[in-house]
Amino acid sequence: MSIMQIGGAVAIVVVAVAVAGNSGRREAPARPAYEIPAYSKALNAQIAAYEAAVGPQAPKTSAEAGGVRLRSVGFELPTSDRTFPPGPGAELIANNCQSCHSPGMILNQPPLTRAEWTGEVAKMMHTYKAPVSDEDAAQNQAIGQHGAPLLRAAQKPGRPVQVLTHCNAGWLATVDWGTALAPIYTAHDAGVPVHVWVDETRPRNQGASLTAWELGQHGVPHTVISDNAGGHLMQHGAVDLAIVGTDRVTRTGDVANKIGTYLKALAAHDNAVPFWVATPSSTIDWTLMDGVASIPIEERDAAELTTMTGRGPDGRVVTIQVVPDGSGAANPAFDVTPARLVTGLITERGVLRPERAALASAFPGRSAGY
């Protein structure tokens, strides 16, 4: 199965669940309010109607529960007077996000009709419910706990630990914590001074739009950089370690992630910068040995590269063309970083060497037969 990008991030699974009764879960930081779009209000009503029809089998959206969270993207559709920032959540429900926007950008219209949205939400609520997302949240929290000591160990005297990350692997892309950002949040919350270099991550700009916003909401100091600046910063000692997420890992430790990850790993290797990959076990494909040869890479629409979307001076979302007419464009969405360039895999069961024996030892039940 090919790796497929859903909008601006790759979600492990999209589920709709209630947010009440989950002790020990990380509370999302306070977020600026906004006017809920009419289509979100309509979807809230449709979700409530579905729950009323299904009865106790469905997660609650009453005052007792406090609201329904589209957990894999950290997005809540309020059922009361609670309001949350705009984001890609609604579009990810339908696996049809047309464009991911920075906070404050409200999409002009939903990509699917109300009836189609209702069907998608109903299927997800009926099929997945809370256990899948709860497991994912616990895995990501554990990744944060295992990864935070790596930041402490990398810190140099007299300055915050300098972390470079690529794309978005936070709670907008998974559940509650994220993968690559989980160690950063955990270290920051424990009082470790952290500064994050955020790759813009062209052509979708998930780093500039999503990761930067997440870090800002959590109070983590950060600086957005162009994708090609990372190597330069490493050459001048401005990066202590790199942490990225992953969408697929072979049983030998090869890592598929957002396009541009391989180049960052090469630069890190050349400059002796540790290159860590946050790896929930759900991303390990035990059937694969050679990632470069075996992992199909999605070729995305050329328009993602030839155009850019952002806010104009008047605050409206606009799309402009940045490539001359007649020029072709190739847009592979992912690349594969060989295990030899990876310092280690941060999993829910600890930090592992990127090799077959280490993965098999940590996950014996899943690796059996491979």
Q: Do 30 and 84 have their domain in common? A: yes
Q: Do 173 and 251 have their domain in common? A: yes
Burial class of 135 by CB neighbour count within 10 A (0 to 12, 13 to 18, 19+) = middle
Mean pLDDT of the chain: 75
Is the pLDDT assigned to residue 370 strictly greater than 50?
yes
Q: Do 182 and 286 have their domain in common? A: yes
pLDDT band at residue 136 under the 50/70/90 scheme: confident
Q: Do 298 and 185 have their domain in common? A: yes
% of the chain at pLDDT higher than 70: 64
Last residue of a domain, one of 115, 130, 145: 130
Residue tagged 């799309």 (tokens): 319
pLDDT band at residue 127 under the 50/70/90 scheme: low
Q: Do 102 and 140 have their domain in common? A: no
Burial class of 116 by CB neighbour count within 10 A (0 to 12, 13 to 18, 19+) = middle
pLDDT band at residue 155 under the 50/70/90 scheme: very high
Q: Is residue 71 part of a domain?
A: yes
Q: Which two tokens stand for residue 295?
A: 């992992």
pLDDT tens-digit profile of 95-122? 322 223 222 222 333 444 445 555 655 5
Last residue of a domain, one of 114, 130, 146: 130
Q: Do 351 and 362 have their domain in common? A: yes
Q: What are the φ/ψ torsions at residue 137 (nearest 5 degrees)?
A: -60, -40
List the single range of 163-167, 206-210, 237-241, 310-314 with lowest mean pLDDT: 310-314
Q: For residues 69 and 75, what is the distance between their CA atoms, to the nearest angstrom? A: 6
Residue 255 β-bridge partners: 249, 337
pLDDT band at residue 65 under the 50/70/90 scheme: very low
Q: Is residue 186 part of a domain?
A: yes
Q: Which two tokens stand for residue 334?
A: 């992912």
| Residue-number span of the structural domain to which 63 is assigned | 16-130
User: Among residues 240, 247, 254, 285, which one is catalytic?
Assistant: 247
pLDDT band at residue 141 under the 50/70/90 scheme: very high
Contacts for 334 with CB less than 8 Å, ≥ 6 apart: 3, 5, 247, 256, 257, 258, 259, 295, 297, 298
CB atoms within 10 A of CB 72: 30
pLDDT band at residue 290 under the 50/70/90 scheme: very high
User: What's the domain count of the chain?
Assistant: 2
pLDDT tens-digit profile of 175-200? 789 999 999 999 999 999 999 999 99
The alpha carbon dihedral of 110, 111, 117, 123 has a sign of negative
pLDDT band at residue 34 under the 50/70/90 scheme: very low
pLDDT of residue 295: 96
pLDDT band at residue 27 under the 50/70/90 scheme: low
Residue tagged 């072709």 (tokens): 328
Contacts for 293 with CB less than 8 Å, ≥ 6 apart: none
Q: Do 220 and 362 have their domain in common? A: yes
Q: Is residue 33 part of a domain?
A: yes
List the single range of 40-44, 165-169, 298-302 with lowest mean pLDDT: 40-44
Q: Do 198 and 124 have their domain in common? A: no
Q: For residues 120 and 170, what is the distance between their CA atoms, to the nearest angstrom? A: 24
Residue tagged 């062209």 (tokens): 202
Q: Do 175 and 78 have their domain in common? A: no
C-beta separation of 47 from 15 below 8 A: no
Q: Do 111 and 182 have their domain in common? A: no
Q: For residues 26 and 133, what is the distance between their CA atoms, to the nearest angstrom? A: 13
What is residue 333's three-state secondary structure?
coil
Last residue of a domain, one of 130, 159, 188: 130
Q: For residues 53 and 55, what is the distance between their CA atoms, to the nearest angstrom? A: 6
Q: Is residue 310 part of a domain?
A: yes
Torsion over CA of 186, 194, 337 and 289, rounded to 10 degrees? -20
Is the pLDDT assigned to residue 66 strictly greater than 80?
no
Q: Do 168 and 312 have their domain in common? A: yes
Q: Do 316 and 271 have their domain in common? A: yes
Task: Report CA 90 to chain centroid distance, whole Å.
Answer: 15
Q: For residues 207 and 187, what is the distance between their CA atoms, to the nearest angstrom? A: 20
List the single range of 79-93, 120-134, 174-188 with lowest mean pLDDT: 79-93
CATH value at residue 153? 3.40.50.10470
C-beta separation of 128 from 15 below 8 A: yes
pLDDT of residue 283: 94
Q: Is residue 9 part of a domain?
A: no
List the single range of 170-179, 196-205, 234-243, 250-259 with lowest mean pLDDT: 170-179
Q: Is residue 8 part of a domain?
A: no
* Residue 247 is among the residues annotated as catalytic for this protein: yes
pLDDT of residue 116: 56
Q: For residues 164 and 215, what is the distance between their CA atoms, to the nearest angstrom? A: 13
CB atoms within 10 A of CB 206: 29
Q: For residues 43 and 270, what is the distance between their CA atoms, to the nearest angstrom? A: 50
